[in-house]
Amino acid sequence: MLRIDSTPFLFRNSTPKYLPESYEIHHHYGIAILNVKDHENVIISEINEDFLLLSGWEEDNLIGINLHENPIWNDDGQLWNAICKCLAEQKTQVLNWNITNGNTSRSIGCSIVPTTCGNDDRPETLSLILSNNSAELAFIDQMQKFNYYDRLTGLPNQNFLNEKIEKEFSDNFPNGEIAILLLNIIKFQRINESFGYELGDEIIQKISYRLEAILPANATLVRFDGDKYAILISDNDAGSIKKESEALASLLHYEMNKPVPVDGQEIHLSLTIGIAVATTALKDGNKLIQQAHIALQRLNSASRTKTLLYQPELQTRANSRLKLENELREMLKNRKLSLNYQPIISLHNGQLIGFEALCRWNHPTRGMISPVEFIPLSEETGLIIPLGNWALREACNSLKIWVDKFPNLSNLTMNVNVSGLQLLQESFVSTTQETLLNSGLAGHQLKLEITESTLIENAEVARDILLDLKALDISLAIDDFGTGYSSLSYLNQFPIDTLKIDKSFINRMNATKDSYKIIHIISTLAQTLGMNLVAEGIEHKDQLLALKKLGYNMGQGFLFSRPLSFDDAEQYIRKELTSLV
């Protein structure tokens, strides 16, 4: 908060967006606070005596006045025009305010400052600051600079970038070129969650210094909010900017691969980079940034490619993904998604021991949409949390129906996949417990499948959550084991019951010696640690026989059954009961 003398109401309720914390506002400033509902509702909410004195207003009944409807001061609309410009540009406006009162005129320094903003970064509060002192006016003018620089790093901010781009368009086109690189620090939020925001800020400062130090003279580093940066490159010679951008991206990746020393630790980070190059047909800075953002969004932490240059077809994909996202939201809202259930079989006796619940989306016009498409989309958008919670409830309710209907199979279990984002929610354990209670299932009837990456990347937090789940008697499995991390030392850190071997190893087990060796090693490891083994993707009898010899005790795949609808899964159970008679 700002330190304020004799004007305790200023910035009382929120931290100002554009002013540095060290600045003081003294009593000899005239100050008025305006609440902004929209461009036609700008209302005086607070005002001090110095403002009345300096503006020549002798009455104090200005609280609640809407300046759009009642201009008050005779200034030919100068103040209102400046307010409108401040709202439109979201930047401080500094002017010599010329006021006429009767036969007298006065000119006074006035600064209009957007001091608080809403979620959409639109100003919700403006401060009018008046002064007739030249030194103070210089101080007010200095405040405007904080529209253009990031407080944490001192780097230029997005306001600066927007104006810089427009200037480059003016100076370099049509012969020159400009490009934007958008940088995202992969999973930086984990740093804040694990070490705290103070250390996170220190890392951001060090990264900023490191990145700025390697930039060429024709590049400008800008910090966006959070874990994102932008770099603007300009070149007077057409034809070279694309190569320059890609070369710089490679240098940035190289630099970011170096650990960041903080508080006696070495923090390892990496980047994804989206690049957009302006063309003679594109002279819109906002669209250029948008194109770089689209390229950045196509990348993710699991991609081998960490840099992507914007191409027009990416816009088409982005539009399609946005449409698909909206449709997915609607399907979730209206509960139009469904679950299929793939049987899990005992490899010792061939009997049914449980199901894995798999989400399915039957689109009204596109037909079945692959989970490979909509699950990553749901993770990127956060929809995986309501989707995952719905799947958990639906799967538990289904199993409860079956075990009540077929008491001879009361030991059936239900496997449900849990995304990292869902697992790490503070409420996940309580949500899972509530789901079990509402469905009537016991904890041992539920098995949760988690990926290796979730455990490794969030080790301490994940371990505590898994221990809480184990306290509910829930079984825990690592899904697609063997595809994520070469080190197996982490297995002892977590209360894991089961390893599910990725089907890619099963598919190749009889084709390559390496795949067979991996499957053999995993079997030995699991037996040593007392874990169960599930082989995924079993399609042929020779695979089944080999897995049984290696000690695998459970399996699933098309050899036994494809994923089934609820009704078909129930029929499968009936056949299972018939075979047991």
The residues annotated as belonging to the active site are 536
Under 8 Å between Cβ of 522 and 502: no
- What span, in angstroms and rounded, lies between the C-alpha atoms of 89 and 105? 29
Q: Report the 3 state secondary structure along 181-243.
A: EEEEECCCHHHHHHHCHHHHHHHHHHHHHHHHHCCCCCEEEEECCCCEEEEEEEECCCCCHHH
List the end-to-end C-alpha distance of the chain, in Å, as a whole number. Answer: 76
Distances (CA, A) of 348 to 89, 534, 544, 552, 555: 71, 12, 10, 9, 10
- What span, in angstroms and rounded, lies between the C-alpha atoms of 156 and 272? 21
Question: Considering only CA atoms, which of 509, 383, 8, 406 is closest in space to residue 374?
Answer: 383
Distances (CA, A) of 102 to 56, 59, 99, 109, 325: 11, 15, 10, 20, 61
| CA dihedral angle for residue 136, residue 138, residue 142, residue 143, rounded to 10 degrees | 40
Q: What six digits make up the tokens of 577? A: 């009961």
Distances (CA, A) of 573 to 345, 354, 356, 539: 12, 10, 14, 20
Cis previous bond, 114, omega within 30:
no
Q: What six digits make up the tokens of 178? A: 């400009």
DSSP letters along 508-520, please?
HTTT-HHHHHHHH
Under 8 Å between Cβ of 56 and 34: no
- What span, in angstroms and rounded, lies between the C-alpha atoms of 325 and 315? 15
